[in-house]
Amino acid sequence: MKIGLKFDSIQVAEKSIIVNGHHRYLASLLADVKIERVECPLTSAKKVTKWEVVELVDEDWDTVDHISSLNKQDAYYNEIPLEKLMELIA
């Protein structure tokens, strides 16, 4: 985010409940970058949890293959070659 890559918007319900985009929201706070928010419905399948009870851990759950897949998606979304993306994030 700090280097200007585009990311999908955060989907919110009722102006403040994040439905999709929790990681992007946290990353935008850490990077001090505003990210677009779009209104979406809150379904009964979603459980509202207050941020105060969320426990953040340093453990990385993504595998090397999953990270590689996400990097490919980011390169495509930002319309740049994967090699260029890798240079930017190095």
Give 63-86 pLDDT, tens digit per residue: 999 999 999 999 999 999 999 999
Its pTM stands at 0.74
Segment 21-64, tens digit of pLDDT: 999 999 999 999 999 999 999 888 778 888 888 888 888 888 99
Q: In the chain, where are the structural domains located?
A: 1-42, 60-90
In whole angstroms, what is the distance from residue 16 CA to residue 89 CA? 30
Secondary structure E strands in the chain: 10-13, 17-20, 37-39
